[in-house]
Amino acid sequence: MLTHFDKAGNAHMVDVGSKPLTNRVAIAEGYIKVNDEAFSAIVNGTAKKGDVLGVARIAGIMAAKKTSDIIPLCHPISLTRCNISFTPDQNTNCIHCTCETACNGQTGVEMEALHAVSAALLTIYDMCKAIDRGMQICDIRLNTKSGGASGTWKRMED
């Protein structure tokens, strides 16, 4: 059943008012593939625009907090945690981004984690586009979620 449509087929925000408060956690990830020069600038902190990963981390946190302003029908929630980490992989010239979000609420934090990863990777692109316009943002996905009536979900290994 599609929950974001009423009986007449009109889009609406789902009523979560009667759902119990539960601790909810979500982890999402993605990566950006860059050329050698951009990879070096990112990991060595020599990009002309500044600390790429530091700015990307802040952008991701800000995006998580503003998810309901961007995604239609997404509930505004009070995050209790938003941790963003980056792992550079020199073998593939990729910067991996992981975000963990949490709240004690009536609806999940999956969209916040996914939005944070997206914004963080887009920020890396923006800060490095003068070095490499061919960067690729790849495989943004939810890895785990817990809490609520549906319980825990974990991505099966690829």
Give the pLDDT score at 147: 93
The yes-or-no verdict on residue 2 having pLDDT over 60 is no
- Give the domains, in start order, of the chain with CATH numbers: 22-145 (3.30.70.640)
Give the pLDDT score at 34: 98
The yes-or-no verdict on residue 18 having pLDDT over 70 is no
pLDDT in tens, 91-144: 999 999 999 999 998 888 999 999 999 999 999 999 999 999 999 999 999 999
Give the pLDDT score at 44: 95
- The Cα–Cα gap between 102 and 79 comes to 6
The yes-or-no verdict on residue 3 having pLDDT over 70 is no
Measured CA angle at 84 (ends 82, 87), to 5 deg: 165
Give backbone dihedrals phi and psi of 140, rounded to 5 degrees, phi first.
Answer: -75, 125
Give the pLDDT score at 103: 96
Residue 154 burial (CB count, 10 A): 11
The token duo for 30 is 């993605």
* Catalytic sites, residue numbers: 126
Give the pLDDT score at 7: 73
pLDDT in tens, 42-88: 999 999 999 999 999 999 999 999 999 999 888 999 999 999 999 99
Residue 9 and residue 2 in contact, taking contact as beta carbons nearer than 8 Å: no
